[in-house]
Chain A
């Protein structure tokens, strides 16, 4: 066989090896890049989730403070009503009670 043709054959093979290596290296580089992407995308998703949770939390807080405000008001009204009724009741039984007490004080059983 011709020496130059043998050389060319070997060179072709070497070139093919090099190309093969580049193909594999490129795949490996792409893999690293993809994994990095995983981190970035994960972070983005997490940030979005956090925002959602925060918004939901704020909504719940606002809702509950509205509720508790209403509760306090209701409580105040109920208390005022109770006291009003108490005073009315006292006024209505007061004369009878005073009479009873006076009788008790001025009656002496010996």
Chain B
């Protein structure tokens, strides 16, 4: 081989070496690009998912809080309405209590009522000997109708005339004076008891009002809410 041929061979080899290196570098670069994309995508997606989950959690928290707040408000509103309903009904009872004071104005009407109450109490108690209590102001009216009442009872119950003593020591409290007075008061009527005081029949107008009110409450409520359009 001459020098020129050797020289050419060396050049070829040099070119070959460099070509191989370029190809290898190229492979590395392409692989790098692929890995870059994969790595970046994975990182981004995984973090994004975490962030999304976090915000979903936060949103749910806020949502729950709002719901609780609203529910609390709703309950408070409902209680307000219920309270108002109760107030209205109690108001009516109080108004009725005040109206009771009128019921005893007319002496004849009141005497008739007293008689009926005494007979009713006697029928309830069925005792041979009783004590009667009334308001001091009503004493004369009671005395006026007592005998008639006793006779009516005796006839109805087919028994002998009972012994009824009007308590002269303890009277029922008088009519209520001031509007908001909480002192004990009585609007009228009588209280009868067996002589030993063990069985009592409270036939005062106040007690009767309480009982009537309680009995009529469903009806009152129906009237109250029937026209309520909601």
Contact = CB atoms under 8 A, between A and B. Distances in A.
A100 B25 CA distance: 107
Contact of A97 (B48, B81, B92, B103): B92
B29 A31 contact: yes
Contacts of B33: 34
Interface in B202-230: 205, 208-209, 212-213, 215-216, 220, 223-225, 227-230
Contacts of B77: 75-76, 78-79
B25 A24 contact: yes
Interface string A96-109: 11101110111010
Contacts of A96: 223
Interface size class of A (residues with CB under 8 A): 35 or more
B159 interface: no
Interface residues of B, number: 80
A1 interface: yes
A18 B159 CA distance: 141
B39 A46 contact: no
Contacts of B92: 90, 94, 97-98
B158 interface: no
Interface of B: 1, 3, 6-7, 10-11, 13-14, 17-18, 20-22, 24-26, 28-29, 31-33, 35-37, 39-40, 43-44, 47-48, 51-52, 55, 58-59, 62-63, 66, 69-70, 73-74, 77, 80-81, 84-85, 88-89, 91-92, 95-96, 99-100, 103, 109, 113, 116-117, 119-120, 123, 152, 156, 205, 208-209, 212-213, 215-216, 220, 223-225, 227-230
Given A75-B73, A86-B84, A108-B117, 17 more contacts: A9-B10, A12-B14, A31-B28, A35-B32, A38-B39, A39-B43, A46-B43, A57-B59, A60-B59, A79-B81, A93-B223, A101-B213, A104-B216, A105-B103, A108-B113, A108-B116, A110-B123
